[in-house]
Structure 1
Amino acid sequence: MLTLKDNLLIFTDLDGSLLDHDSYSWQAAQPWLDRLSAARLPLIIASSKTAAEIAILQQRLGLSAFPFIAENGAQIVFPPGWRHPARIFGADYAAIVNALHHLHASFAFRGFADADDATVAQWCGFTPQEARLARQRAGSEPLCWLDDQQQLAHFRHALAQQRLTLTRGGRFYHVMGRGVSKGRAARWLTRHYQLRHQRVFTTLALGDGPNDLPLLQSADYAVLIRALRSEPLSLPATRRGRLYRSRQTGPAGWSEGLDHFLLPGKARRIAHE
């Protein structure tokens, strides 16, 4: 079982995981944020949000000393003290938007590039300023799918011909370069940590959506947080003992997962209540 004294890297999704899906509150997770900070364990955000959005949240969460993964793995951003430039995986944003422009004639969808700040704010429940940050993209495009499911399969095929791929997040579909995922970025960052610190790290990942599955599969231990509005997700059965499915949603489920792996005595008491 894991402990707070282990060489541990923790990767976390935001919306629907560390943050409440609707209110974006992390109040239920604050006790664990305090514990991890006291133990000096890295908590690395891996989100579909942009670097501009995550940087602000990092400050509010007290996590600015750590790198983070943005746009579903399309970008890794390092803290200033690391003196390491941001890394982009896959196609850049201009290439993605250009490819999607040519697909509008065949499929019904709207991406962030097709909307203004006010429209994106309405889609996400953001303020116009927050929407502006969400539109500062580097390597992925969120979109609202307005066509049927049969067309979605054709859309995936059309994207593949452009060396692009599609993943489903909590609110949107996300178009990215082929091979881009939170899991790939997490593996790259874990290797970077190990080289930087000259020791092996154990990884624990927490997430709730389909776009989190590569992240959870890449980690040594995983917490699949119960999603508020989607069907239950599946992971390989070979992860027995290293995968925990939370009963609660959002930051309460996030904390429940850390209880299970890092405070096993408390987790057992909760299970019998």
Structure 2
Amino acid sequence: MPALHDPLMIVTDLDGSLLDHHTYSWEAAEAWLARLKAADIPIVICSSKTAAEIEPLQRALDIVGAPFIAENGAIVKWQQQTPVAADRPSAKDYAAICKTLRQLREQDGFKFTGFADVTEKEVADWTGLTPRDAALAKTREGSESLIWRDTSEQFTAFQQALAAQQLELVQGGRFWHVMNQGRGKGAALDWLLTHYPPPGSGRWITIGLGDGPNDAPMLEKVDYAVVIKGYSKTGVTLKRQQHVFYSAGFGPEGWSEGLTHYIT
């Protein structure tokens, strides 16, 4: 098991993991956050949230300077760095993704509602965020979040139409996310570990924590995985068998439970 003096990196989802699914509080994780910060262990947020949402959260959590992964892997960023679309300059940006979605809706009649289609108030109503935080959630760079409002048959056709445009759907805790193919949380973590070496020699020892299907690619990549009990109808399914811990608690309670299990 890893210890606090090892070159540890904590890679964590936010909603339903470090943050409570309903209240967005991290109070139950504060003791572990303090231990990790005291040991200079980077806490890498890996979330469907936007960079505009994550940066103030980093300040509130006192982890400014640590790398983060935003929009399910579309954006990798750390202090004084320009956002990098997972090192793939040919990837569609937000405007191009929204344009493609509008074209598919007009051509094939798909029924869905994306963040680009609604106001900040509507996003706040969907999520429970404040209007200010909803505005940050709409500040997108490399993916679109949407609610599917059509049939399962049309959903399959929608996936196929997206694939023809080099786009894919990723399921999150509340929304479906449309993003460039191969830009998920696992690919983004691979890129980060290549470009963000640990102090000294050797390699990072990674512990990943998440509660939703979109966390699975990240949880497959880390050395130690924590699957936090979640509210999604679709659970987290992993191919790996070793070094996987399933929490009994939800949100930050389960988050702390996982770290207590692994870190000596």
User: TM-score with structure 2 length normalisation?
Assistant: 0.94
1:247 is paired with a residue of what secondary structure?
A: strand
Task: Compute the displacement of 1:8 (Å).
Answer: 1.1
Mark the CA change 1:129 to 1:13 in structure 2 (over 3 Å): closer, same or farther.
same
Mark the CA change 1:186 to 1:197 in structure 2 (over 3 Å): closer, same or farther.
farther
- Give the aligned CA root-mean-square deviation in angstroms: 1.3
Query: 2:147 maps to what in 1?
Result: 144
Aligned pairs, number:
258
1:76 is paired with a residue of what secondary structure?
A: strand
| Partners of 2:232 and 2:77 in 1: CA distance | 30
1:206 is paired with a residue of what secondary structure?
A: strand
Aligned: 1:108 with 2:111: yes
Structure 1: unaligned runs, 5 residues or longer: 264-273
Which segment drifts farther, 122-131 or 159-168? 122-131
Structure 2: unaligned runs, 5 residues or longer: none
Q: What letter is aligned with 2:97?
A: I
2:25 is paired with a residue of what secondary structure?
A: coil
Query: 1:135 maps to what in 2?
Result: 138
Report if aligned partners of 2:11, 2:45 keep a CA contact under 8 Å in 1: yes
| Partners of 2:215 and 2:5 in 1: CA distance | 26
Query: 1:245 maps to what in 2?
Result: 246
State the percentage of identical aligned residues: 48
Aligned: 1:86 with 2:83: yes
| Partners of 1:37 and 1:150 in 2: CA distance | 48
Query: 1:228 maps to what in 2?
Result: 231
| Partners of 2:248 and 2:163 in 1: CA distance | 36
| Partners of 2:257 and 2:57 in 1: CA distance | 22
| Partners of 1:29 and 1:230 in 2: CA distance | 25
1:165 is paired with a residue of what secondary structure?
A: strand
1:190-229 map, 5 Å = 190-194=193-197, 197-229=200-232
User: TM-score with structure 1 length normalisation?
Assistant: 0.91
| Partners of 1:203 and 1:4 in 2: CA distance | 12
Aligned: 1:162 with 2:165: yes
Query: 1:54 maps to what in 2?
Result: 54
| Partners of 1:73 and 1:192 in 2: CA distance | 15
Task: Compute the displacement of 1:129 (Å).
Answer: 1.1
1:176 is paired with a residue of what secondary structure?
A: strand
| Partners of 1:73 and 1:197 in 2: CA distance | 27
